[in-house]
Structure 1
Amino acid sequence: MKKALIFILILHSAAVYAQTEATDTISVQQLNEVVVKGEKPQVRGEDGIMVVDLPNIVKDKPVNNILEALGYMPGVTNNNGMIGLAGASNVTIILNGELTDMPLQNLYQLLYTTPVDRLKNVEIMYSAPAKYHVNGAVINVVLKTPTPLDGLQGQVRAGYNQAHYGSYGGVLAATYAIKDWTFDLNYALTRSKSWSREEIWSNHLYDGKRTMIEDDMRRIGQNWSNTIFASASWKTLRLTYNGQIISGSKSWGLSSGTLGNYTNAYNMLSPVGYHNIALRYTAPFGMTVGGDYTCYSENRSQSLFKDYDYQLGSENRQNINRWHVYIDQQHQFGKWQLNYGAEYQHSKDHSSQHYGAYGDNTDFDDILSEDVASFYAGTQRSFDWGLSFNLSAKGEYYHNKYQHNWNFIPQFGATYYKTPKSIFQLNFNTQRVYPSYWELHGGTSHINDYSIIIGNPALQPYLQYDAQFNYIFRQKFVATFYFQYGDKATVQLPYQSPDALNLIYQTINMNYKRVVGLNLYAPFGVGYIWNATATANVFNQREKADNFHDISFDNCKWIFYGELGNSFKFSQNSPVSVSVDFSYISPSLQGISDLSGMWKVDAGVKWQFGKNRCCELDLKADDIFNKWSPTMTINHACQDYRMKVRDMTRNLKLTFIWRFNGFKPKDSDIDTSRFGTGK
């Protein structure tokens, strides 16, 4: 916990004279130095927004990029690189208040390449105002902006990660400002090789008898990834490019068991390309106009072998072009703020799947166009007696060849803040969640002769309702009571077909998914020696479906998630800090399935050295005992299935960082992926 030392130096001498008929002189008094110690607030609340001083929270942690740092915020979890927010059904990450419109994997890669030194603070919005063009919960990553006085600043990072296989890479991040111009560049090159393992036992009821099918699946993947983020700003006009090119991408599924030995080989026939270019202008009278263009391309082949015999092959293509424009206007009327605007997005997805001469699988070559248009109006106000709020309503029109509908999306966020001791927040929002493009085409992918993945053209978007009540005590302790309801929420789970000896994976709509719970976050410690944060999340989850293929289920369970993070320093200015973190989740559920409990221990060391501590060496061991993998069990309505995940979640990371010219710019005032052909 950072301590702010405020040194108050009282005048060394003072003389006060009062003149009457006789002059009285007040003698000079000198006060000794007074030292006042205070804690810097970790969490502040305003307009329904929770502002988190994340740089201060992670300063002694062995983290060097924003993606890893996000997991240390109140209510935020980082599950093997996937960011979640307690009390929110899903969360969108944006940068500096702007939606990046990037696929999730590309956004995570960008955050992974962005140094934690660039952070100013992070804002958690359980109910994002419509002016952000995001529905639902948002994590807004606010970066520091360079000024001409800073000159050229940056850092170079190189790292090695040892899991089952080794991966390595490097990052260059730099900022530069001159007069009215500001430039920003992040470039990363990584070589990744992954490994995972799943064992399944499927006691399949078919033709009146049970057949036990065992399978041991190992998955191996490798690729080279180039990630580029570049922006140039002139006054209030900014041009931004986000790009990722993945080359040399190959993966294999090696399956052995009751039905024999299978090899499923996937090859990218050309580099996977993601390119996004955005232009944004902010006028001095409160108007913001912007637009962006996204291009995504993927061409993947699949070849399935049984032993050395060729079974089938396919070629999957996906080409997506998406245009997005928006206009926002903001007015200030005294203490009232009025904002309104509109946006339009058009996407064209040309996807195809072609099989070879073997088998009787159906090809498709389809163009799916999608249009989303919306307009909104909102207001916000702060009152002197402690209440501030933001309120907005959005009308949205959605259209593709399968369906078209109008959606009304209200949003409300309020904060009551009279003293720093107690802050109260209330949030409510709704959103419509859309399926991935590829699933809507209805294609089929084969894992082996037994397991297949089938798309679903009948898949519907679903409505998600979320509400949260936050209590922030002394600007560091946070309690969140939350409620979530997903009407027609989707789930993908294995299903043993009664008509054939096939295990089917298909995303379907359930009746609903409902979650109600309480999340507690508490930092504590002993001076500079030991700083810790404890998180406890207790919730009841229920998922119900009347038509899960040809059966129904109603699954309900109480679940507990706990986390304790610790960091230690040997002295107040010690260049070395040590961290040890513990996490646990009790048995949980997903749709018709039950998931076993999991636990893990992470540990790390951070060493800063060199002139002005410009160099840093981080060593971090995640999931030391390799226990953060679940067992899935389905035992309901003739379904008898068990899958044990044996991924190598244990890994050791070594990272070296060199910062040049300080890399501390002065302060000044990106949606889940729907791309990819899947597997």
Structure 2
Amino acid sequence: MKPCNLTTGAVCALMLISLATAAQMPTDTLPKAVRPGQPDTTFPVQRVKDTIVPKEAADAGDTAIIMKGSSDLGGVVITSRKPLVQVKAGRTIVNVENSVMAEGSNALEILERSPGVNVDKDGNISLKGKPGVTVMLNGKLTYLSERELSQLLKGTPSGNIARIEIMTAPSAKYDAAGNSGIINIVMKKQNKAGLNGSVNGNYGVTRKSRAGGGASLNYRAGKINVYGSYDYWNRGEIEYLDFERKFYENNIPDRVSVQQTATDEPLSTHTFKAGIDYTLNEKNTIGLLMNGSAGTYSNISRTDNLLSRYHGGILTHTVSESENHERWGNYNYNLNFLHRFDTKGHELSADLDYSGNTFRSNQFLHTLFLGHNGLTSQRKGRIPSNTDVYVFKTDYARPLGEKAKLEAGLKGSFVNSDNNLAYDTLQANGHWVKDLSATNHFRYKEVISAAYLNFRKEFTGFTLQAGLRGEHTFTEGRQITIDSLVKRNYFQLFPSLSLEKPLDDNNKLQLAYSRRVSRPGYEELNPFRVFRDPYLYFEGNPFLQPELTHTVELSHDYKSMLVTTLNYSSTSDVMNWMTGQVDSINTTYERPVNLRRFTSYGISLSATLEPLPWWAFNGFVNVFHNAYKDEGLDNSITAWTIYLQNTIKLPADFSAELNGYYESASNYGSAVSRPYHTISLGIQKLLLNKKATVKLAFSDIFRTKNYNQRINSNGVDMKMLIRPDSRVLNLSVTYRFGKHFESRERSSGSEDLRGRVRSGG
């Protein structure tokens, strides 16, 4: 970087005055070389990329620029703090590491507190009221089933998350999966020079206690960057579920089932990461990363089910005790390479990934029929699942002058999943016999080959971005038990287009269109049955088709402070878990089906403001209309959500955060949910020269986050109330340590390259 000459303009003078103010140094104490008004004096200014945080290890999430010059001045640091929420047209960034409420939570709970994101009772994620979200970790697809992804997110400590990127209009560079958009969870990584690290611990109280802790370490010097981390978390949770179901005889209500369930759901996880980046030369960097998670989860429940005549008279009264013990391991290996050409922004990257996933579930269900001379029913199940994922990806970017850029890439992925479900029932003679109606061995293969081309150019008065992605999909689902095979083989094009038009210095418009897809997961395709109790089970559907969505968004951006967005989307063959029942045996089931059409349109407003120097405010309001249509189904509703977040700076390095969320009545498939709201509060204190952070967070203070749902369609009349363990008081402590040194040389190409390497993290 060239030195600033103080006689060439006021910009450098203002920069230096700001430096003096930030360092709290009177002007007359500054070295002569940096006093304003001195003619013909130069002051070499350099951003040291190897040092991203203040020399005294400032609070996480701060960014520091170290100015170097006269030895009398030493190192002067300007510290700026990223806002918690950054909003742009088509993209929202939540800087999780800056949140007082983040510590002691998991990734799924952090998503629940993100603008525009909703997580339902089963861990399914929707964005701006629309289902079909693709979740990525560090820019990579997980290739997990919904249940496995939910467990992975529950077992990912929030303290490991740097930020969440929410994209409603991604370009062709990203996978076409995800009808309503992409959520990319970016984990923390270190870029500081020297030896640095942190240790953390947290303890929370709910209906049961939860605790966790971990450590991270990073060493960076010369051409090598080595890093690693480990975290352990033990989460206690008790949940209550109430169901009321009506059964019919000749289309007339004849019986009613009232069910009450209490579950104990302990979760224990280990997450870890280790990697190395090596700068071969100024143009080439190679990296190796290994990360993963392993854990156990149990669902131990007791269910009381009373089946009566609709107009009175008990038919059966059962008490069921159910145990489901799960354990999993998720291990990922990544080899990455980055080559930078002579022109800035001209680069070629490549990634090779392998992911091995194991999942084991052992179930036991014991039911006692009261009043039937001790009659009992017992069932046990074993669900082993193994999934291997291989991915190769390469991306090429080339600037075309100063105002245009061309991107292109190739990607191939191969998924192989093996699930062998076995159920046994206990006979009256005391022998266990295989239940052929529920036992099934299912193997699933998926191969996706993709290529994309994306072009962006600034014209006079507007900016155009156009892209096209082509994906060929081959799937094969084989039910070995009944010798059934279902294949899919198809090629699809996914265009994307965006136009950005500045109106003046403060206002701009953006119009975006994209076509996207959601493919069924192997768990949805597997027709095996999973029983919650003798009268309720879940099963997959091997004939599910992928759903396709066309989305249009029109956004107005005012100073990146107020973003207003109109959106419309139409989805064909929408996949939806529908509830059905077999009246003759008083049984209810859920299975995924393709509905004919899902239409959604709405308007959202995002605000990022600082009304006062000590008060930062983020608000998000979304009003939307969702309509599900199919034969015998027409479920439409206009709903709205509001998210409010306030960050308050207090004296003596204290800060506080107050969050509120409200969701009106909403719909999903044939179900309609009642409104609910939550209020959360947190306070933070910096200690030990800002090297330590203590946070106290109180989530869902009034325990108002209850899922109250009603289904009344296609002969099903069911009410459901779920009261999760959402009120949590959590105390967390983080301590950062390390030696931060400055390079004596100016930023070189190799240093810039090391800072840009995609080291997983």
TM-score in same-fold range (> 0.5): yes
Residue 296 of structure 1 is matched in structure 2 by: 357
Distance in 2, matches of 1:324 and 1:212, equals 51
Taking the aligned partners of 2:583 and 2:106, their CA distance within structure 1 comes to 48
Letter in 1 for 2:516: Q
Counterpart CA distance in 2 for 1:519 and 1:392 is 27
Whether 1:531 aligns to 2:616 is yes
8 Å Cα contact 1:87-1:483 kept in structure 2 = no
Residue 202 of structure 1: CA displacement?
Answer: 0.7
Matched, 1:192 2:235: yes
Deviations 1:552-606 (A, max 9, x none): 21011110111222232334xx311222222111111111121111011111111
Equivalent residues of 1:623, 1:649 under 8 A apart: yes
Q: What one-letter code is carried by the residue in structure 1 that aligns with 2:167? A: M
| Cα-to-partner distance string for 1:172-208 (whole Å, 9 max, x where unaligned) | 1232212111123231111122221110111111466
- 2:693 counterpart letter in structure 1: E
Specify the alignment match of 1:179 in structure 2.
222
The one of 122, 126, 130 equivalent to 2:168 is 126
Is 1:454–1:504's contact at 8 Å kept on the other side of the alignment? yes
Q: Secondary structure at the match of 1:104?
A: helix
Q: Report 1:56-135 matches (<5 A).
A: 59=98, 61-64=100-103, 67=107, 75-76=116-117, 85-86=127-128, 89-94=131-136, 97=139, 99=141, 104-105=149-150, 108=153, 112-115=157-160, 124-133=166-175, 135=177
Distance in 2 separating the partners of 1:339 and 1:525: 37
- Select which of 672, 676, 692 maps to 1:594: 672
User: Amino acid of the residue matched to residue 246 of structure 1?
Assistant: G
Distance in 2 between residues matched to 1:452 and 1:87, nearest whole Å: 27
Cα distance in 2 between the residues matched to 1:328 and 1:13: 49
Kindly indicate whether the alpha-carbon contact (under 8 Å) linking 1:409 and 1:430 is maintained by their aligned counterparts in 2.
yes
Q: Structure 1 residues 158 and 382 mapped into 2: Cα distance closer, same or farther (>3 Å)?
A: same
Q: Counterpart in 2 of 1:160?
A: 203
Distance 1:217 1:445 in 2: 17
Determine if contact 1:106/1:244 at 8 Å carries over to the other structure.
no
Deviation at 1:520, TM superposition (A): 0.7
Residues 421 and 600 of structure 1: CA distance in aligned 2, closer, same or farther (over 3 Å): same
- Which residue of structure 1 lines up, in the alignment, with residue 697 of structure 2? 620
Residues 600-646 of structure 1, C-alpha deviations (whole Å, 9 max, x = no match): 11111111112x22111111111111111121112334322111112
Per the alignment, residue 263 of structure 1 pairs with 321
Q: Matched residue of 1:445: which SS? A: strand
The amino acid across from 2:303 in the alignment is: S
Q: Deviations over 1:57-78 (max 9, x none)?
A: 9747343489477677654567
Q: CA deviation at 1:429?
A: 1.9
Cα deviation, residue 443, structure 1: 0.3
Once residues 299 and 737 of structure 2 are traced to their aligned partners in structure 1, the CA distance between those partners, rounded to angstroms, is 38
Contact 2:655 2:683 in 1 (8 A): yes
Aligned AA (1:86): K
Asked if structure 1 preserves the Cα contact closer than 8 Å seen for 2:348 and 2:396, the reply is yes
Distance change in 2, residues 1:12/1:539 (3 Å): closer
2:263 to 196, 213, 219: 219
| 1:190-242 residue CA offsets vs partner (Å, 9 max, x unmatched) | 11222211101111114665101110012222232111122211122111212
Deviation at 1:260, TM superposition (A): 0.8
Q: Tell me which amino acid in the other structure corresponds to 1:256.
A: D
Deviations 1:537-561, CA, capped at 9 Å, x for gaps = 1111111121xxxxx2101111011
Q: Deviations over 1:344-365 (max 9, x none)?
A: 2222211111122345534222
Instruction: Please report the RMSD computed on the Cα atoms of aligned residues, expressed in angstroms.
Output: 3.3
**Aligned 8 A contact 1:480 1:518 in 2:** yes
Q: Please give the residue correspondences for 1:32-71 in structure 2 after superposition, counting only pairs within 5 Å.
A: 43=86, 50=91, 52=93, 54-55=94-95, 59=98, 61-64=100-103, 67=107
Residue 157 of structure 2 aligns to a residue in which SS? helix
Cα deviation for residue 524 of structure 1 reads: 3.4
Deviation sequence 1:252-302 (CA, Å, 0-9, x none): 12110214100111124xx41111111111233533222211111122221
Contact 2:200 2:735 in 1 (8 A): yes
Which of the residues 292, 299, 306 maps onto 1:243? Answer: 292
CA distance in structure 2 between the partners assigned to 1:343 and 1:419 by the alignment: 40
> Measured at CA, do residues 507 and 649 of structure 1 come closer, stay the same or move farther in structure 2, by a change above 3 Å?
same
Change (3 A) 1:62 1:374: closer
**Pairing partner for 1:544 from 629, 632, 642:** 629
Tell me the equivalent position of 1:28: none
What corresponds to 1:549 in structure 2? none
Aligned CA distance change for structure 1 residues 267 and 422 (closer, same or farther; 3 Å): same
Whether contact under 8 Å (2:176, 2:516) holds in the other structure is no
Q: Counterpart of 1:22?
A: none
CA distance in 1, matches of 2:299, 2:245: 25
Distance 1:144 1:438, change over 3 A: closer
Q: CA deviation at 1:51?
A: 7.0
The answer (yes or no) to whether the contact 2:132–2:518 under 8 Å persists in 1 is no
SS in 2 for 1:400: strand
Amino acid at match of 1:412: L
Partner secondary structure for residue 624 of structure 1:
coil
Q: Is the contact between residue 235 and residue 267 of structure 2 (CA under 8 Å) also seen in structure 1?
A: yes
Q: Structure 2 unaligned segments of length 5 or more: list them.
A: 1-14, 21-26, 28-33, 41-79, 280-284, 307-316, 342-346, 369-373, 425-431, 478-485, 743-750, 757-761
The 3-state SS of whatever aligns with 1:341 is strand
1:569 and 2:613 are equivalent in the alignment:
no
* Cα-to-partner distance string for 1:411-455 (whole Å, 9 max, x where unaligned): 223333465511322222222212221232210122212111122
Using the alignment, how far apart are the partners of 2:518 and 2:667 within structure 1? 21
Q: Which moved more, 1:279-288 or 1:499-508?
A: 279-288
Partner of 1:322: 389
TM-score, length of structure 1 as denominator length:
0.83
Q: What is the CA distance between 1:509 and its match in structure 2? A: 1.2
In the aligned structure 2, how far is the partner of 1:139 from the partner of 1:350? 27
The 8 Å contact of residues 540 and 557 in structure 1, kept in 2 or not, is answered as: yes
Q: Percent of pairs identical after alignment? A: 19
Query: What SS class does the counterpart of residue 130 from structure 1 fall into?
Result: coil
**Residues 395, 407 of structure 1: 8 Å contact kept:** yes
Check whether the contact 1:381–1:390 (CA below 8 A) recurs between aligned residues: no
Distance of aligned partners of 1:461 and 1:79 in 2 relative to their CA distance in 1, 3 Å threshold: closer
User: Is the contact between residue 529 and residue 569 of structure 1 (CA under 8 Å) also seen in structure 2?
Assistant: yes
2:748 — aligned with what? Answer: none
1:104/1:144 CA distance change after superposition, 3 Å: closer
Counterparts of 1:441 and 1:70, CA distance in 2: 28
Q: Which runs of 5+ in 1 are unaligned?
A: 17-37, 547-551, 670-679
Determine the C-alpha separation between the residues in 1 that align with 2:715 and 2:673.
Answer: 18
The count of corresponding residues between Structure 1 and Structure 2 is: 626
- Paired residue type of 2:168: Y
d(CA) in 2 for partners of 1:647, 1:220: 11
Contact 1:252 1:263 (C-alpha < 8 Å) held by counterparts: yes
Provide Cα deviations, 1:334-381, integer angstroms capped at 9, x if missing partner.
Answer: 243333232222222111111223455342223222221222222222
Question: Partners of 1:100 and 1:263 in 2: how far apart?
Answer: 33
The more displaced of 599-608 and 5-14 is 5-14
Query: Taking structure 1 as reference, are residues 587 and 663 closer, same or farther at Cα in structure 2, changes over 3 Å only?
Result: farther
Match of 1:342 among 404, 407, 410: 410
Q: How big is each residue's C-alpha offset from its partner over 1:4-53, in whole Å with a ceiling of 9 and x where there is no partner?
A: 9946989665799xxxxxxxxxxxxxxxxxxxxx99897575xx76475x
Match of 2:599 in 1: 514
- Give the deviation of 1:144 after TM superposition: 7.7
What is the letter of the counterpart of residue 379 of structure 1?
F
Please state if 1:643 is matched with 2:742.
Answer: no
TM-score (norm 2): 0.75
Q: Give the corresponding residue for 2:6.
A: none
Q: Deviations over 1:657-679 (max 9, x none)?
A: 1111289999944xxxxxxxxxx
CA offset at residue 502 of structure 1? 0.8
1:201 matched residue in structure 2: 244
* C-alpha separation in 2, matches of 1:383 and 1:165: 59
Counterpart in the other structure of 1:32: none
